[in-house]
Structure 1
């Protein structure tokens, strides 16, 4: 199922980042879309792979912070 999901995501223009995770969620997708309607179509497309949870970014208080070791 993951291989077919990854193949499907290759066809989607608005995905700018995808993170494979452990735990309750399998993937986080960072998307730039033109409208809520476009998001709805995309969520319907992903429905064949299982349930989705959607978050909208309100702000990015820390976009980049160097780590010093």
Structure 2
């Protein structure tokens, strides 16, 4: 078989992904299942842990903190 004629496999279930609409997945179901894994923290990108900034106060929060001292 010519390599350019091969049908890619679904990144989730490994079936042939014939519809280009959901590539690299074979269906919306597989695409949604993969997204769910990312959102639940099921996939982790290796590396050093980054410090989390406190962005919950919103813009201008640092200015308000200086007045209270």
**Same fold per superposition (TM over 0.5):** no
Larger CA Rg, structure 1 vs 2? 2
TM-score (norm 1): 0.26
TM-score (norm 2): 0.26
Higher-helix-fraction structure = 2
